[in-house]
Chain A
Amino acid sequence: METTDILNEVNTIFKRIFENDAIVINPETVADDIDEWDSLNHTIMIVEVETHFGVKFKLKEIMGFKNVGDMCRIVKIKLDEKKLNP
């Protein structure tokens, strides 16, 4: 799966959990750009992304997410690893 596909699927997750169909994200999107993205929704979003892609982030990785693009890149690395070591 390419990073753009991951971004699109993450966008769908964002619309659902933040209950806002108007949300359009890009790799540079940060929490400040989305009103509903607070500490509580952050955790729910992380859990939803993990469940959707079947991956598990490490706390250190989450702390390193500067924007949505960082998260999608880690998802891609984890999916690629899974492909190599199913």
Chain B
Amino acid sequence: MLEKIIESFDRHAAENAFCISNNFFTYSDLNKNCGSIQGLINKLQLPDNSNIGIVTYDDIQTYSSVFSIVFSGHAFVPINPANPSERNKAIIEQAGIKYILSSSSSESLMEIINSGITLINTTEKITDSIFKPEALDKNKLAYLLFTSGSTGVPKGVPITVGNLDAFLDAFFSLGYKINNTDRFLQMFDMTFDLSLMSYMAPLCIGACVYTVPFDAIKYTYIYSLFEDHKITFALMVPSILTHLRPYFDEIKLDAMRYSLFCGEALYEDIILEWSECIPNALIENVYGPTEATIFCMTIDVKREGGNKSFNGIIAIGKPMENTNSINVNENNIPLGAGDKGELCLSGKQITPGYWKNELKNSEAFFILKENGETVRYYRTGDLCYFDNDGDFFYCGRVDHQVKIQGFRVELNEIEHYAREFLQQHNVVAVPFTNSIGNTLIHLFIENYSGSFHPLTDYLKTKIPSYMIPNKFTSIATFPMNANYKIDRKALAETLKIKN
């Protein structure tokens, strides 16, 4: 499937591939940029399938870098320049990156460039370099993404060319009637794998990708794209709807044909209201962890209501082609319909395993015998059940992860850095929902009388902005449960009482 992108370079050469900050770039422009960047990569004479960093700016060089790297037999590692330099350094070190492609060389970026790492300027033009995509090998890594890790060290999730190809194959098997006249929204930070669907799927069919600048006020910019460019296909995180909800009565997007949601729980009440704004669109709830490549389960949302849901959250549906889903108990024994357990996934989209993290791999993956064959399953950490039709329902997390603005966040990671700063104080991070329905973090600190500002300043140097707690409370003594563990539920209850 990935080769289809290269076919589009020729077949749709004169058509628009990207609209970035209202500037259009054709497939021919993309092809030329890929050629130039591939020329820069070839000069490096890297060992096969090396990890190459890309500093993710919202520009054509950044997107071109992705294809130049993958079609030169290497893997890309997106690095968000807005993230704390210490976090980026940890990623660069873990991934063993020696070269980083970047279209800019800002001061904050120079901080992460240690000795021994070379920054390659992708705006440098090699005019005679024609893009020569290599034949793809399904076993090679295509990209390495880092997600929040409970010990404070980000976890690397490697995705192979075969994984990515299986996703695209499953995506196009969903039967969406899309072609080169479609206009796709790309609202995601490129360190978030939903971005890959948002730009790779359209490029496979010669469609145009409309990006959202990182520093834009997202929901107003997205809405301008919907209105001004008549976007036809939009994958979004549900929290965008909570921002747009007060204005639903003003919104009528006749051009929208596909409206997909992923990354967070999708509530039926808001999606039915949204359906009125997009009268001609098919609405889908899609689900999947980074470890299973972008998304791997889906369900149609019925605009007339009566959708399958649990606690108001729309079901996550059935596995797509190339994925199998089961529910297991704590002993990895598969459960039947109606029984709550941990959702586990197998199939061609599953990562080969966390990057250089055998301990985590032994916890997150297990083998089951199915019809005499051994099948490798990934534990999602999501508590689910399925009904007699085989549709899965999301019931919450089995651990301490939450989703904030679509990003998966380990509460333990926030606590780890808060404790590191505060030294002698116990801390507990509790998610809460604010007045407009967004999930935020409230940090409780035991017996602390100092100012919270220095702590916030410290956290800003360690974790991305979406992980910084929004509220802080000091409590003399934390409540304990029957097992003498800090009673997180009781702390969460105090937030409900407050509100």
A interface vs B, CB < 8 Å? 31-32, 38-40, 42-44, 47, 58-60, 62-63
A63 to B224, CA, bound (A): 8
Inter-chain contact B434/A44, CB cutoff 8 Å = yes
A20 to B405, CA, bound (A): 23
Nearest CB in chain A to that of B216: its residue: A39
Interface residues of B in 460-476 (CB under 8 A from A): 465
Nearest CB in chain B to that of A39: its residue: B218
Most chain A CB inside 10 Å of its own CB: which residue of B215, B216, B219, B224? B219
A63 to B435, CA, bound (A): 22
Determine the chain B residues whose CB is within 8 A of the CB of A39 once the complex forms.
216-219, 243
Inter-chain contact B251/A59, CB cutoff 8 Å = yes
A31 to B217, CA, bound (A): 8
Q: Does B438 sit at the interface, judged by CB under 8 A?
A: yes
A43 to B241, CA, bound (A): 12
Determine the chain A residues whose CB is within 8 A of the CB of B217 once the complex forms.
31, 39, 42
Inter-chain contact A59/B436, CB cutoff 8 Å = no
Q: How far, in Å, is B457 (CB) from chain A's closest CB? A: 10
Inter-chain contact A40/B405, CB cutoff 8 Å = yes
Inter-chain contact B465/A62, CB cutoff 8 Å = no
Interface residues of B in 240-266 (CB under 8 A from A): 242-244, 246-247, 250-251
Determine the chain A residues whose CB is within 8 A of the CB of B247 once the complex forms.
58-59, 62
State the interface size on chain B (CB cutoff 8 A): 22
Inter-chain contact B243/A38, CB cutoff 8 Å = no
Nearest CB in chain A to that of B471: its residue: A19
Q: How far, in Å, is A40 (CB) from chain B's closest CB? A: 6
A47 to B247, CA, bound (A): 12
Nearest CB in chain A to that of B460: its residue: A35
A42 to B250, CA, bound (A): 19
Nearest CB in chain A to that of B215: its residue: A32
Most chain A CB inside 10 Å of its own CB: which residue of B216, B220, B440? B220
Determine the chain A residues whose CB is within 8 A of the CB of B435 once the complex forms.
44, 47
A44 to B218, CA, bound (A): 14
Q: Does B192 sit at the interface, judged by CB under 8 A?
A: no
A31 to B220, CA, bound (A): 13
Determine the chain A residues whose CB is within 8 A of the CB of B215 once the complex forms.
31-32
Inter-chain contact B220/A63, CB cutoff 8 Å = yes
Q: What sequence of 0s and 1s flags, for each residue 200-222 of chain B, a beta carbon within 8 Å of any chain A beta carbon?
A: 00000000000000011111100
A60 to B215, CA, bound (A): 20
Shortest beta-carbon contacts, A-B, top 6: A59-B247, A39-B218, A43-B243, A42-B217, A63-B220, A59-B250
Inter-chain contact A43/B224, CB cutoff 8 Å = no
Interface residues of B in 147-193 (CB under 8 A from A): none
Inter-chain contact A43/B223, CB cutoff 8 Å = no
Name 10 A/B residue pairs within 8 A (Cβ), A-sorted: A39-B243, A40-B405, A40-B440, A42-B220, A43-B436, A44-B436, A47-B436, A59-B250, A62-B247, A63-B224
Determine the chain A residues whose CB is within 8 A of the CB of B243 once the complex forms.
39, 43
Inter-chain contact B438/A62, CB cutoff 8 Å = no
Most chain A CB inside 10 Å of its own CB: which residue of B215, B243, B251, B434? B243
Q: How far, in Å, is B331 (CB) from chain A's closest CB? A: 41
Given contacts A31-B217, A47-B246, 19 further A-B pairs with CB under 8 A are A40-B405, A40-B438, A40-B440, A42-B217, A42-B220, A43-B219, A43-B242, A43-B243, A44-B435, A47-B435, A47-B436, A58-B250, A59-B223, A59-B244, A59-B251, A62-B220, A63-B220, A63-B223, A63-B224
Nearest CB in chain B to that of A31: its residue: B217
A59 to B245, CA, bound (A): 10
A31 to B216, CA, bound (A): 9
Q: How far, in Å, is B375 (CB) from chain A's closest CB? A: 41
Most chain A CB inside 10 Å of its own CB: which residue of B215, B217, B223? B217
Q: How far, in Å, is A13 (CB) from chain B's closest CB? A: 15
Determine the chain B residues whose CB is within 8 A of the CB of A47 once the complex forms.
246, 435-436
